[in-house]
Amino acid sequence: SLAGIENLPCELQRNFQLMRELDQRTEDKKAEIDSLAAAYIESVKSMVPEERVEHLKKIQSAYSKCKEYSDDKVQLAMQTYEMVDKHIRRLDADLARFEADLKDKLEGSDFESPGSRSLKKGRSQKDKRSSRGRGRRTSEEDTPKKKKLKGGSEFADTILSVHPSDVLDMPVDPNEPTYCLCHQVSYGEMIGCDNPDCPIEWFHFACVDLTTKPKGKWFCPRCVQERKKKK
The DSSP element (H or E) to which 138 belongs, if any, is none
For residue 203, give every residue at least 6 positions away whose Cβ sits within 8 Å of its Cβ, in sequence order, or none. Answer: 179, 180, 181, 190, 191, 192, 193, 220
Model confidence at 28, pLDDT cuts 50, 70, 90, reads very high
Mean pLDDT of the chain: 75
Average pLDDT value for residue range 147-158: 39
Does 31 score more than 90 pLDDT?
A: yes
pLDDT score for 25: 94
DSSP assignment string, 193-227: -S-TT-SS-EEETGGGT-SSPPSS----HHHHHHH
With CA atoms as reference, report the closest residue to 12 among 78, 61, 83, 73: 83
Which residue would you say has higher pLDDT here, 229 or 124? 229
The pLDDT, as a whole number, for residue 228 is 83
Lowest mean pLDDT among 25-34, 48-57, 85-94, 105-114: 105-114
Reported confidence tier of residue 87, pLDDT bands at 50, 70, 90: confident
Q: Model-level pTM?
A: 0.41
Q: Which CATH number fits domain 190-230: 2.70.170.10, 3.40.220.10, 3.30.40.10, 3.40.50.2300?
A: 3.30.40.10
Nearest one of 229, 187, 223, 227 to 207, comparing CA atoms: 187
Q: Which residues fall in the annotated binding site for Zn(2+)?
A: 180, 182, 193, 198, 204, 207, 220, 223
Would you state the pLDDT for residue 158?
A: 43
For strand 202-204 and strand 190-192, is the pairing parallel, antiparallel, or unpaired? antiparallel
Q: Which amino acid is at 210?
A: L
Name the more confident of 224 and 175: 224
- pLDDT of 156 above 70: no
Which has more confidence, 108 or 213?
213
Residues in the chain: 231
Cα 61 to Cα 65: distance, rounded to the nearest angstrom: 6
**Residues annotated as binding site?**
180, 182, 193, 198, 204, 207, 220, 223
Question: Which is nearest to 204 in space by CA: 178, 230, 223?
Answer: 178
